[in-house]
Chain A
Amino acid sequence: MAKIVSLSQAVSELVRDGDTVACEGFTHLIPFAAAHEIIRQRRRELTLVRMSPDLIYDQMIGAGCAAKLVFSWGSNPGVGSLHRLRDALATGWPAPLEIEEHSHAGMANRYVAGASGLPFAVLRGYAGTDLPEHTSTISTVTCPFTGEELAAVAALNPDVTIVHAQRADRTGNVQLWGITGVQKEAVLAARRALVTVEEIVDELTAVPGAVVLPHWVLAAVAVAPGGAAPSYAHGYYDRDNAAYRAWDGISCDRHTFTRWLRDLEAAS
């Protein structure tokens, strides 16, 4: 049974320095509250895994949590650059950042392999592109039945996967709906999974298209209302597009970012 605990306790127990951490959520249900708690607890040397680093990893990278980023699309969606990511890559501030770069299809399939208990996944991808030359987790495999050469990508098995969901019941079963991205695969691929939720309810009534994560695959559930903001939680609150635009100004220089970081660390 998943323990229902406070977010600070969950992060403290589940996220360790040097861990490979995947915070997933494709534009929707991005676990910002958990990331901010990781920043406050000053975790270091993390390998951060996420299809689109988005603001959540720009903030963690700027805060000095990351040693490596595994990703497939690095921008502020609908706005432009991720300035903290760019600064870390170009100048090593506040810490040098190694990257491992894939396509979305490659990343999605790496999680599928991880969730399936397989060492790698097969896809039609990367053919003719320059990425395989630079990314050691991309290779090829020959189909034993047809002889066709296909792309192979190494499984992703994060030490910790963190996702945000709409709600959980008192046993710790979790339900999420709307755009559910790659969260199910990322959770099932992980050694430990933490889910933050908008609320705990007595009973999970059925919702069309919902994903349910049973309590026995989760290490902890923590209540974090508003925990996906400034991304959104379908049925609870909308994406704060103004905050995404404002991040461009906050993150574009170290001084304004550092002020933002101090305010974040002071709040709890």
Chain B
Amino acid sequence: MTDRGSLPGATREAEPSAGRYTAEEMMTVTASRALRDGQVCFVGIGLPSTAANLARRLHAPNLVLIYESGTLDTRPAELPLSIGDGVLADAALSVVSIPEIFNYWLQPGRIDVGFLYGAQLDRFANINTTVIGEYTEPDVRLPGSGGAPEIAASCREVMVVMRHRLRAFVERVDFVTSFGHGSGPTDRRLLGLHGAGPVRVITDLGVLEPDPETSELVLTTLHPGTTVERVRAETGWGLEVAADVARTPAPSTRELETLRGLRTVGSERRYPDPLYGHGSPHLA
């Protein structure tokens, strides 16, 4: 049985709240709290990169960040705009080739946590970043796979970060770009996938976790100011709710100030729009 509400942020003593913050900031802070010090994290651009760099400046100074451009253990002073920015190479312990990053580092299970983003996600946390509609004549053409299918397959665990909207949280994804739990708890093992798959879906409304018996996503934590009804209304399947649903502590002053202090390279913006992150719903 999963320890419901086991998010680090959900169990610790809440620090003083910082007052006003956006739903996106709550989502980023929640993702950051979910990373533990010393973990090795495969990072995508956008919100995952922001959350990981925030965690490194707060509770996880020894978090190891790996970007798919081949930068191992990079500690950028500013957030990169693209996955292969020079700032990532300059601040890296080592820079390796693309075949090496996928074959030697990701594939054998050397990465603890992979962050993914989806345009669509279903009740078993399967993820679509390829097309909305039919593959050959799509309604919307999305960017495609990138590193996501193998991140979903091979990281020890996967966290999905995406805005909670009815059009995105669907009964069945139109296209399985990255395999979550298929249609139940035995599917990953039958496919020979070594990683645990998605263990947590962090949204701007709360946190969903797979039920240990069925692998179906269950609402386990609600962010401040939202309700179970609102989350259910934005979910395209009959969402189960944990009996002891937890409340996410609001962002602390320190979390918010650190987050708002992050700068993107060559940009006036605070940090990148998470919509443009890995598996962005934007069209190809």
A: residues with CB less than 8 A from B are 26-28, 51-53, 71-75, 77-83, 85-86, 89-90, 101-106, 108-109, 111-112, 123-131, 134, 148-149, 178-182, 184-185, 209, 211, 232, 234, 238-239, 241-242, 244
Whether the Cβ atoms of A125 and B149 lie closer than 8 Å is yes
For residues 101 through 115 of chain B, which have their beta carbon under 8 Å from a beta carbon of chain A?
A: 102-103, 106-107
Whether the Cβ atoms of A129 and B69 lie closer than 8 Å is no
Known: A101-B144, A209-B95, A242-B266. A131 touches B102 (CB 8 A): no
Whether the Cβ atoms of A108 and B102 lie closer than 8 Å is yes
Tell me whether B235 is interfacial, beta carbon within 8 Å: no
Residues of A within 8 A of B144 (CB): 71-74, 101
Q: Per-residue CB proximity of B241-284 to A under 8 Å, as 1/0?
A: 00000000000000000000000011100001001100010111
Determine the residue in chain B with the shortest Cβ distance to A30: B84
* Option from A102, A109, A131, A238 in Cβ contact (under 8 Å) with B103: A109
CB distance from B176 to the nearest CB of A (A): 5
Whether the Cβ atoms of A105 and B149 lie closer than 8 Å is yes
* Option from B99, B175, B179, B272 in Cβ contact (under 8 Å) with A127: B179
CB distance from B46 to the nearest CB of A (A): 8
CB distance from A48 to the nearest CB of B (A): 14
Spot the interface stretch: B53-61, B159-167, B185-193, B223-231: B185-193
Tell me whether B130 is interfacial, beta carbon within 8 Å: yes
Known: A108-B102, A179-B89, A209-B95. A103 touches B192 (CB 8 A): no
* Option from A80, A90, A104, A242 in Cβ contact (under 8 Å) with B68: A104
Alpha-carbon distance A122/B283, docked complex (angstroms): 30
Whether the Cβ atoms of B187 and A128 lie closer than 8 Å is yes
Tell me whether B14 is interfacial, beta carbon within 8 Å: no
For residues 140 through 179 of chain B, which have their beta carbon under 8 Å from a beta carbon of chain A?
A: 141, 143-150, 153-154, 175-179
Alpha-carbon distance A263/B102, docked complex (angstroms): 40
* Option from A51, A53, A128, A244 in Cβ contact (under 8 Å) with B98: A51
Interface of A is mostly: loop
B: residues with CB less than 8 A from A are 45, 68-71, 80-86, 88-89, 94-95, 97-99, 102-103, 106-107, 130, 135-136, 141, 143-150, 153-154, 175-179, 182, 187-188, 191-194, 265-267, 272, 275-276, 280, 282-284
Whether the Cβ atoms of B284 and A241 lie closer than 8 Å is no
CB distance from B273 to the nearest CB of A (A): 9
CB distance from A141 to the nearest CB of B (A): 13
Determine the residue in chain A with the shortest Cβ distance to B182: A128
Residues of B within 8 A of A82 (CB): 283-284
Closest 8 CB pairs of A and B: A27-B84, A128-B179, A74-B284, A73-B146, A77-B82, A78-B81, A103-B145, A105-B102
Q: Identify 10 new A-B residue pairs, CB closer than 8 A, beyond the known A80-B275, A131-B145.
A: A77-B83, A89-B141, A108-B103, A128-B153, A128-B179, A129-B149, A129-B178, A180-B95, A234-B89, A238-B266
Residues of B within 8 A of A85 (CB): 284
